[in-house]
Copies of this chain bind each other. A is one copy, B any other.
Amino acid sequence: MTENFILHEDPISGHCYKIKLTAALLQLPLERRTYSIIKGETRSPEFLETINPNGRVPVLQFGKRSLTQSNACCLWLAHGSKLIPEDHFAYITMMQWLFFEQNEHEPNIATPRYWRKFLGAENMDAAQHAALPGKYALGLSALQVMNDHLTHNHFFIGRVISLADIALYAYTHIAGDGGFDLSCYPAIERWMDNIAATPGYIGMDC
């Protein structure tokens, strides 16, 4: 793949980080254009008109085409690479974890982080305060599912890092910002160390 990739992103977003980490592990160059979600820069008329009518980052642009949804962007970048299992059942199992991340993990683990760290407890409305306990319960449940799986597996799909690990790492490794205590999940902590030790790894602040 010799396309020039442009990532429209906000550096505070774990979704955007997934794409940067994927590109780094694959040594793919990525031009970055940053926008502030908090300042409303992804909802400006120009952004909606030219980048994404849904008003969200990340957007991965290449030539005249673009993709939204972080996991879809990672799948595009990693096509044919070692980050995607060749065996078809292993591939579908990876997809299973990517959907788990979108449906059971991110809404419960990323949102409390955003509310607490960026919006601020004093700016949360009554509905957000009321939703927090439910999100913590479901977030802890998602972390337990991960920990149980990782107790018997080095990475999510056997012994090799894949997009399942990248997608789940993004908001797990900063879950503490949302009030989750990862020290209760030793298999997750060991797994995070393994990811950070992978050649080419970059942190979220890079």
A interface list, Cβ under 8 A from B = 53-54, 65, 67-72, 75-76, 79, 88-89, 92-93, 95-96, 98-100, 102-103, 106-107, 126-131, 133-134, 145, 148
CB distance from A170 to the nearest CB of B (A): 13
CB distance from A17 to the nearest CB of B (A): 16
Q: A130-B130, A131-B127 are in contact. Are A92 and B107 (CB under 8 A)?
A: no
Q: Per a CB cutoff under 8 Å, which of B102, B129, B131 touches A103?
A: B102
CB distance from A117 to the nearest CB of B (A): 19
Do B102 and A99 touch (CB < 8 A)? yes
Q: How far is the CA of A142 from the CA of B106 in the complex (A)?
A: 17
Give the residues in chain B near A148, CB-CB below 8 Å: 53
Do B106 and A92 touch (CB < 8 A)? no
